[in-house]
Chain A
Amino acid sequence: MRFTWFNLMPWPYLPDDFREKNRSVWVDIPNTLYDPKKGHFVYHQYMDQLEYAETLGFDGIGCNEHHQNGYGLMPSPNLIAAGLARRTSRAAICVIGNSIAGYNPPIRVAEEFAMLDVISGGRLVAGFPVGTPMDTNFCYGQIPALTRDKYGEAHDLIMKAWAEDEPFAFDGKYNQLRWVNCWPKPIQKPHPPIYIPGGGSIETWDFCLDHDYNYSYLSFYGYLRGKSLLEGYWERVAKRGKDDSPYRAAFAQIICVADTDAQAEELYAEHCLYFFNRCLHVFPPFADPPGYRTVNTIKYGALSQLRMEAQRIMQGLTWKQLVEERFIIAGSPETVRQKLEECITGLRIGHLFCLLHTGNMPDWKTRHSTKLFAEKVMPHLRHLWPEWKHDDRWWIHPMEERLRPEETRPGAEKPGQEWR
Chain B
Amino acid sequence: MPPALSPRSRSGVVPTVRRLLRTYSFGFALLVSLALLIANLLTESGGFGWTQQMADFAPLGLAAIASTPAIISGGFDFTISPLIFLTNAVFVIWLLPHGLGGAISVPIVLALGAAVGALQAVLIIVLRIPSVVVTLGLYFILIGVDYKIAPNAVSISSSWLTHLSGSVGPIPGALFTLGAPFVIWFALRFIPYRGVMFAVGSNEATAYSTGVNVGLVRICAYALGGLFAGIGGLALTGLVLSTNSSLSGTYTLIAIAGVGLGGTSLWGGRGGLLGSMLGAVVIYLLGSLLSALQVDPNWLQVMYGGMLLVAVVVGGKLALPAKQAA
Question: Do A and B come together as binding partners?
Answer: no
